[in-house]
Structure 1
Amino acid sequence: MEQVPFEEVTTGAARDAGGWLGALPVAVVATSSDGRIVRWDPAAEDLLGYPPHEVLGRHIADLLHPDADRSLGRSLWESAVTGRGVMGMVTAWHSEGHPLELEIWAAPVPARHRGGTTVLVFAADSHAARRIRGSSAVWDGLFSRSPVGIAVLDTKLRFLRVNPALEAMNGLPQAAHIGRRLVEILPDVNAADMEGAMRRVLESGEPVLDSRRTGRTPADPDHDRVWSGSYVRLEDADGRPIGLAASLIDITVQQQAQLEAEAGRRHLALINEASVKIGTTLDLERTAQELADIAVPDLADAVTVDVLDALVAGGDLGPGLVGGAELRRVGKAPSTGSQVATVLAPLGHTLTFPAAAPYARALADRQPYVVADFDEQTIAPAARHPAVPARLLEQGVHSFVMAPLLARGVVLGAATFYRTRPVGPFTENEVALARELAARAAVCVDNARLYHREHDTAAVLQRSMLPQHIAPPPGIEIAHRYLPASDVNEVGGDWYDVVPLKGGRAALVIGDVMGHGTAAAAVMGRLSASVRALARLDLAPEELLYHLEAALQDLAEPMLATFLCIVVDPATGHCRITRAGHPPPAIVTADGAARLVDVPPGVPLGVGGTRFTTTDLALPPGSLLVLYTDGLIEARGCDIDERLTELTHVLAQPTPSLTALCDSLLTHLVPTAADDDIALLIARISAGG
């Protein structure tokens, strides 16, 4: 039997069978007008198991199930010969001896060479056909109705098909996609990165999940958006890549919420850190620098902190800002190593701004001044030095915030936060954070201002109450020192005095009011005045102490004080020593031997309910009496006995004068800044005057 050439089969009939046939193994069989098989393709052999030589020339109805109603098969074939085509279900008989349910489609095709009619029959496993049709329907429904953007691309990453959701996301119809690549149709997204991920999927076969697409599309050209994309390789039956399926979900809202939550956590952490790291001392410059350091780089790329020049100078801040502002730069980060830092004025520089300048406006309005999109034309007219904004623009500054330093209703200055990184302008939350950091620093700066003022007041009060001129009686040579503490808190109540008495005697006194600040200095002044008045009454030393204690108890807020009094007669070398909780005096004899005087320590004045005792002592001519406060011998981490031993060791060293001995004691025992204020009084007793 002659086999009809396959080229004679009308391909249009195959297309009419339905698009799902392309995904299903389909046998193609051709018969003559009398129903005898003239064409048997390999798919038919695969489907029913018969090779061509076993079926060619046989009637097609012979392939049906032996027990089946063959009239149905014949009627389908006859209908196909005489009509336009039929579809139906038949039960065929497999060569291996089992039934196989087939779904067939048959249509007449004119024979080109011999006349008559050829019937073209398509056959497929009915179970597979139903499965394919079902999955195809699901796929088509998903593709057309899904809110997820879906695209099918070929191995060149050209679009083959996109669904309506993706058309809406991209703002382009399907026709604008087909045959083109992503980089060609969406230049304002990170298309190159996405195509790189797609190529990796095509090469490896491993799907990619949650690949981010960012940027703008024609659907929303004025706003940046974020999409989450997933890519899966499409393969043929042999596992070879034939394309790619991509799905995209718009996650802009979720991403923004996540970013805001992360920013909120970072901001809270920064505020917590600021509460620990800003204001560690009562030093104005250090507090300003702490603010600048903590804001870089978490909030800004560069920060400057400027305070009113009058604040640094210690003057009156005045009623407000009139006609501009003069500011002193006291904080800057980074201080070096940054191009922006080189443009900004250095530390210690005084800047003058007219009333229209942003600084002056931020201070006058007491609100942050925000420049979201830095532009030279916007800022130059208000700036005193127009070249500076241009240089800042050259270094990439694109946004900045000036936050006033406001504390207790007083404007102290401003902190400026500059941004150069491509992360967009300062957001509303970031401006609020800048304001919060500036407010915290402002309170610390104001505390430093108030403490400096109190320190200066206490220092003036204390120095005014120390003896301005000591005139000891003949036979006594005097040297003395007062060294204030390095910390502004440590201005306290240390004092000393030499009070001339009857008969050529003198009272050497030294004391230390416990506490610091103006209150301690005021009590010290009260005690020193009382000592001078009481000493002239020629009271016994212990009686003098009882009166001083009564004076302390009369205070509205009782305080304690240590006190040491030595009444010395230079003519005889006789001394009477009374001690109230004060460090023991030291004696250096003419031969250079130094020792501490062993006298009862007593308790500080103000404790009450105790008796003071007096110790009598005879000094050889040329002896030194050394009186000092605890600031000379106390040091962090050092044992007090070791410090006292060190004191006597220094006293035993030869020195040319009492003044030199004072300097030697301070140099050896306090080589760095003092933690506490120090009073020192040295007297040389020369018998006979």
Structure 2
Amino acid sequence: MRGVGSEPLEEFVARMAERVADPGRTAAVRATGMLDSQTEAAFDRIALMASRLLEAPFGFVTFVDEQRSFWKACAGVDVADPAGRQSSVSESFCQYVIGLGEALLVDDVRLDERTMHNPSIESMGVAAWAGVPLRSPEGEVLGTVCVVDTDVRRWNDDDARLLDELSALTTELLAARRAHEDASQARAALIDVAEHVRSRGWLDVLAHLTRRLSGAKSVDEVAEAIDSNGAAVVGADRLVVGHLEAESGLIVLVGHDAGRGGERLDPTQAGSAPFALALRSGKTVAVGSRAQRVDEYPDGVMLADSLGAEATATVPLRTSEGSILGVLIACWSDEMSPGVMPLSQLEVMAEVCAQSIARARLADDRRALVASLQTALLSPPPPVAGVDLAVRYVPALDSLGFGGDWYDVVPLDGHRVAVIVGDVVGHNAAAAARMSQVRTVIATLAQTGMPISELFAGCDKVLAPRSQSTMATVAVVVVNTAQRTLTSTLAGHPTPLLASPDGSVDVLAAGLRPPLGVGSSLSRPETVSYSPGSVLLAYTDGLAETRDGDVDTDLLALSARFGRLSHLPPEQQADRLLAETSHGLGHRDDVALVVARLL
């Protein structure tokens, strides 16, 4: 049961009852006018989307006062009369969400002490339940957007995110109703939203877009999702995201195919351009034709022409906290009256896009910070006669960036240098701290002249009293430039690769023993000769692993990439290896690597 802490049941029940009966909250519920109201297509579609997207038999939009949970919309329940679309608070699972003030997803309601005695388990056959708060524009919890399943199931984070987006859409509908003083205008706005979500095809596109935005880990991924799927949602020919760079204050256009991707626009120099006006005013700017643009927004003509747009709607990307992160530009190739543009849908999409960009920026900032800290731990390699070196460390995209991967280049004497890569288990600050320990010990032992065959056993001996739980894989390759030999030993680590001058690649022969922290046996290093112009690649497993996880196939693929790139200078090789491994989507695991051209 996610969303519930470890407080005693009695305390939770008391707090829940207090929040359900809170006068401020119940007054906000009544102020919506939703209690005992007739069904409305827009709300019905939101309940239907919840049911379909989460593949649950029942979907609800509820408003809860101190006595009952009123079902403003219910998918899977064929009841139109308001008197039949409600249940008592004691029968409702919505009470738990109000008590928590956050999402609640219960895989099996019969097993959790908070829900196991709810009467709806018997009366409605509830087996699994998932819901999120439905909030007023001021933040009061009015009820929920929720789904019910009659079978036990495993909910996931994507389910919660989808419900959150549908709840945000419902809040937007409530805000729109309040904003329209004329009740007929309010009904027209709601009917417009309802008509737009009528087709199943649109629902599928919306579901796909929501999932992509929820999973986006960078601003580029947000823009790509909007570009690929957003236009179909609002009936535009193209959508363009322009995000505001915090450092420069410029708008960067991303995610469109008009040949201007990545262009930076200065809002302070853009005058009457719609994007600049939207940023300054925080309001949507709709332009129905080129003639109108020339007459009213002349500074925006060049950008619109480059996008092939006759009509445009430029919406500020505003977060729920009020920050403006850029603009969303909808483009149509034909003239269109601003009165028929789907502005309400665009503004909802812009808010979802803004929240996704805010999450992606936060993740980017965290990764950049911890990557810089990691890089500070990994000093640049010293110059080595007879060896041209490039080193890289890249944090995992789905972590904060602190990891246990490392590289090191340790000169041993005038013609020998140790190339070391390793991987301590973990992707956090603790892993980085253990990594620093192991890296320092191995480098120190190597510099004191300890034979490579004893290096790992010596490291185990030093670290055992200090860090019982440290487990690490390590590869050490000693390059002897005088004899042109490579002597290698591995502690449970992926085997380094050696590319010959002709581009052929071999797995480097190496002595193998278990990882550090597992055993203290000696290793038996192996020595091979190399030809001048050969290239050594030592790496951690994040460079080779793919989602399929087939080790042999992954190694063959990495060998092929390495051989194809081995003619390049080491710096370029390192960058290309990283780029081609991630396919521009980031790495699932930390990556450390050393590329060494042997002269």
For CA contacts below 8 A with separation 6 or more, give which structure has more relative contact order.
2
Larger Rg: 1
